[in-house]
Amino acid sequence: MAKLSDLVTLPFFRDLNDDEIHRFLHATGTIFKRYAKGDRILRAYEDNPSIGVLLDGRGQVLTEDRFGGESASHILERGAILGSSSAILGTPGLASIVALTDTHVLWVTWRALITAGTRLGRIHGIVMKNLLEAFCRKNYLMTQQIEVLSQKTLRDRIILYLLQREQRQGTTRITVPGRTQLARELSCNRSALTREIATMEREGLVTMGDDWLALDHAKIDGGRK
């Protein structure tokens, strides 16, 4: 089981102390489950009554087409909320989640979360506020992703992607995933992405390291005038 000192740093439990978190876990019958690398944390088209919180490790969302083929989507890291749509709506989810590393997940059933309100008082209100904020952040990120994918050229996608992450990470040196994952997020061919970034580097539009990219704003802004 995870230590309370670890849980207090999760966005799900923001503004709660150790004692309040303990009360929440007891009142809702929350469980902790370990997944080995490669395990399915959630499976598409299967019923799921619980909302999960990723405590450590990393997971990846897998989308399934109508022929049963799977394609890798975005990466999930500590604090990510799992299975909320299927749990709240009571309908099977449309995507699977696979563990990329050994992971631990906190699971609380949606029904228990709702019915525990009278016993938990303000604790329940704080958790529900945090959950609502998590949904809003997820919706905001999805809107940003749609904006990126709506750009006409791959270069414009890359630039907007990096601008969004500058704001999110609070730095001009943006940590980015490997080229394969970045190509998935930009919905493009990996080779085409590698060529375009190399071209942008030659033109002085970006500088790069092993796991980061940085925009030259003077040239980017000048090119758009």
210: Cβ–Cβ under 8 A, 6 or more apart, which residues?
none
pLDDT of residue 3: 60
CA distance 197 to 187: 15
pTM strictly above 0.85: no
- As a whole number of Å, the CA-based R_g of the chain is 20
- Per DSSP, 49 falls in state -
Alpha helices per DSSP H over the chain:
4-7, 18-28, 84-89, 110-115, 117-120, 122-149, 154-169, 179-185, 190-202, 217-224
pLDDT of residue 67: 63
**Structural domains of the chain sorted by starting position, each given as residue range(s) with its CATH number in brackets:** 4-145 (2.60.120.10), 151-224 (1.10.10.10)
pLDDT of residue 5: 63
pLDDT of residue 70: 67
pLDDT of residue 66: 58
Burial 125-138 (b: 16+ CB within 10 A, else e): ebbeebbeebeeee
CA distance 96 to 39: 11
pLDDT of residue 185: 87
- Per DSSP, 121 falls in state T
Q: What is the pLDDT along the chain (225 residues), one digit of tens a residue?
A: 556 668 999 999 999 999 999 999 999 999 999 999 999 999 988 999 999 999 999 999 888 765 666 677 778 899 999 999 999 999 988 889 999 999 999 999 999 999 999 999 999 999 999 999 999 988 888 899 899 999 999 999 999 999 999 998 999 999 998 898 899 889 899 999 999 999 999 999 999 998 999 999 988 876 555
CA distance 159 to 213: 10
Sign of the CA dihedral with 35 first, then 42, 161, and 157 last: positive
